[in-house]
Amino acid sequence: MDFTPNWKEPNCDLLVQAILSLQNEEDVYRFLDDLCTITEIKAMSQRINVAKLLSVETTYNEVARETGASTATISRVKRCLNYGADGYKRVLIKMQKESGHEK
């Protein structure tokens, strides 16, 4: 592994391994349902949607209108897209490739 986040620890390793073990969409839904509150799931869902919209250069106003995200959330996601660990970018690229809609 080339990237090591500053929050890496054994409990986090277990979480990462658990996520990697998921086989399909149903597994993911079941795991998230047990692991997170509905509010946490909706917040994470909103962030990935914000990242997707920002990655295609949607304006902050359009992102806010479409997702209901606050300007603080939009700014944080934008900062991650520009200066983060490339997590959003890697996932969005992979999702595009898998859907057959590469940029």
Q: What is the pLDDT of residue 100?
A: 80
What is the third-level CATH fold of 38-103?
Trp Operon Repressor; Chain A (1.10.1270)
What pLDDT does residue 99 have?
85
pTM for the model stands at 0.87
Asked if residues 37 and 43 have their Cβ atoms less than 8 Å apart, the reply is no
pLDDT along the chain (103 residues), means of 10: 88 95 97 98 97 96 97 97 95 91 59
Check residue 101 and give its pLDDT: 66
Q: What pLDDT was estimated at residue 89? A: 96
Which residues belong to CATH 1.10.1270.10 in the chain?
38-103
